[in-house]
Chain A
Amino acid sequence: MRIIKLKKDNLFPFLEVISEEADLWAPVKKGDKHVFKVVDDFSQIEMNSTRTILPPRKIFLPPTFDMFSVSEEGYKEDFSHITKKILFGIHPCDIHGLLILDNFYKQAYLDPYYLEARKNTLILGLSCWPDEYCFAKSTNTHIIEEGFDLFFTYLKDFFLVWIGSSQGDDLVRLKPELFDEKLTDKDIQTYLNWQAERDKAYKWDLNFTAMPDLMELKYGDPLWEKLGDTCLACGSCTNVCPTCGCYNIMDKQFLGGKDGKIMRHWDACTLEEYSEVAGGENFRKKRSDRLKLWYTHKLQAFISKYGKPSCVGCGRCIVACPVDINVRTVGKALLGEEEDAFWIRLNKEVTK
């Protein structure tokens, strides 16, 4: 892989050139959090952003979109929501999230909506610095070797730029004079120092290797009932997770009843009606059973199927859950480690 250098001041001119080709999406501030948004004014781009509220999958499979239309002439697929995009500022953990989704949406049947959106989006990754919630080092998703067209490592006054695909190379060729092909020993040392410092900045970790066995061994553990008693079944953990993809279908029927659109929208396995079948029978009426499914998926199932967890350590569930049920507290509880979480305090106080 070729690595070149871009002076900090040359970033905006470069984005200027490439955004003529497609919409540029990047992290911008929203309150004290960040979101991915189309940007025209590059000064809005948050270069030191933490995790965005919603994961980048919202750009590939929006919360709602029309899949196809129905009329008397038959069915017509609808890809009108898919446009050419450049996604700048996506962190390594989120790129790993996309790689997990790639794998999933190519299994058995291809999902044309996801794959078409993916094909129409260039990925320009950006390095990041962990905060108190990040644990990407535990999931080994703090570094990225594939899945991007360009990757920018931000080193104070310049970027090291990894060229990951021929499309990425094409972007660079639009204005090659902005880049330096030659790296000095000092540049390399700066990068190594940055990497060492960054790796030390992760404040906590979780032993994922133990998780598949623990999920099995503690399947009947009272822990799950405790979690179920506290869980609000709001679906926030699912909405913010970069590797969740469950959806539901809704019909939009137009007046007259013969025409309509079939819409796909995000769903969450933590919601009560998720596993309900016709007639009202529900296979997972209990919140504890639904949480168990969510964690089986994240900590066990993917590991046995793809060799890695479907958790990328982004920390979004930690930020989002109002009652502290997240990969950190559940993981630590499975390991038998003490953790100060709302649901543990609540249970202690209730038992008193």
Chain B
Amino acid sequence: MNSQNKQLTGVNPFVPQPARIVRTYYLTEDVKFFQVRIVDMEKALSFEYLPGQFAMISVLGAGEAPFCLSSTPSRPGLLEFCIRKAGAVTSALFRMKENDLIGLRGPYGNGFPIERMHNKDILIIVGGLGVAPLRSVLLYCLDNRDQFRRVFLLHGAKRPAEMIFREEFLALKEREDLECHLTVDDDDTGTWTEKIGVVTTLFPLLEEIDPANTFGLVCGPPVMYKFVIKELVNLNIPKDQILMTLERRMKCGVGKCGHCAIDYIYTCLDGPVFTYWDVIHMRELI
């Protein structure tokens, strides 16, 4: 004998919110920018998050995947993502147009320890698509400039055309309160006015670093971590002040599906932001 089923009254963490693509355009050949607004206005405005957190985005038929937020919580209402076409979900997203609906839920993950970072120097080191999560924390620092001491940005890309948010960062160079250094591995245009070389060649430009009071934030392709972390450790920045955000496959974002498990931690709950100290102790992290 079957009884009548009750609908649950609580919040179901697996069910997304309908969200609308407000703007989308190509940032580079294979990276697209998405500006998204949750359809329910109240929910759109109450969507509170930290830089470094991520959201699950779904497209019916293609599936669901985690994407870190590139926008800053200091500018509420619209959520921004930089997405590279890599798999089923991203391919479906690339086919979508402005005004199309997607599913969105979140925010998830730990995010950057903003409170610990208050009144400290913030050194952001970005390679390629690593800009996606770090743009959020950079804009957050600039919007709340008095909460942080010096802010540095070291940004490396392969070629000028592949520097994501190139114009935005070139414009930021004008700011007095940001020490912004941009570089490309190789200038195929002959018009690049900034540095040439891998991102670690920018380190000598950093002057009078106060390592005990500096947070180093790193995100980029796997090959970058080894060299950048070496530089940060050489600068004597404490291992638990070297922060990085990592990527894993996720199916739930809320610590249930198991896909992002590493040793005994879940990237979706305990990450995606980890310290270098964590990385030393989690053998599979990078």
Contact = CB atoms under 8 A, between A and B. Distances in A.
A binds B: yes
Interface of A: 20-23, 67-68, 70, 74-75, 77, 79-80, 82-84, 104-105, 107-113, 116, 120, 219, 245-251, 253, 257-258, 260, 262, 267, 269, 274-279, 283-284, 289, 293, 296-297, 300-302, 304-305
18 contacts: A20-B1, A68-B14, A70-B60, A70-B103, A77-B12, A112-B14, A116-B6, A219-B283, A246-B257, A247-B252, A251-B61, A267-B257, A277-B249, A278-B65, A278-B86, A278-B88, A296-B263, A304-B264
Contact of A258 (B5, B60, B62): B60
Given A251-B63, A278-B89, A107 B14 contact: no
A59 B222 CA distance: 42
Given A74-B18, A245-B258, A251-B62, 4 more contacts: A70-B60, A79-B8, A112-B12, A275-B248
Contacts of A79: 5-8
Interface residues of B, number: 45
B172 interface: no
A273 to B, nearest CB: 9
A145 B8 CA distance: 30
A67 B15 contact: yes
Given A84-B3, A247-B258, A279-B87, A300 B13 contact: no
Contact of B8 (A77, A80, A249): A77
B60 A278 contact: no
A109 B264 contact: no
A110 B13 contact: yes
A257 B96 CA distance: 14
Nearest to A107: B255
Contacts of B259: 246, 248, 267, 274-275
Contact of B103 (A20, A75, A305): A75
A276 B6 CA distance: 37
Contacts of A70: 60, 103
Contacts of A302: 264
A84 B15 contact: no
Interface of B: 1-3, 5-8, 10, 12-18, 58, 60-65, 86-90, 103, 247-249, 251-252, 254-259, 261, 263-264, 269, 283-284
A25 to B, nearest CB: 13
A107 B261 CA distance: 15
A267 B86 contact: no
Closest 6 CB pairs of A and B: A301-B264, A278-B87, A246-B258, A278-B86, A109-B254, A253-B61
Contacts of A300: 264
Nearest to B9: A112
A300 B262 CA distance: 12
Contacts of A301: 263-264
Given A74-B18, A251-B60, A301-B263, A109 B256 contact: yes
Contact of A253 (B60, B65, B256): B60
A250 B58 CA distance: 11
B15 A245 contact: no
Contacts of A84: 1-3
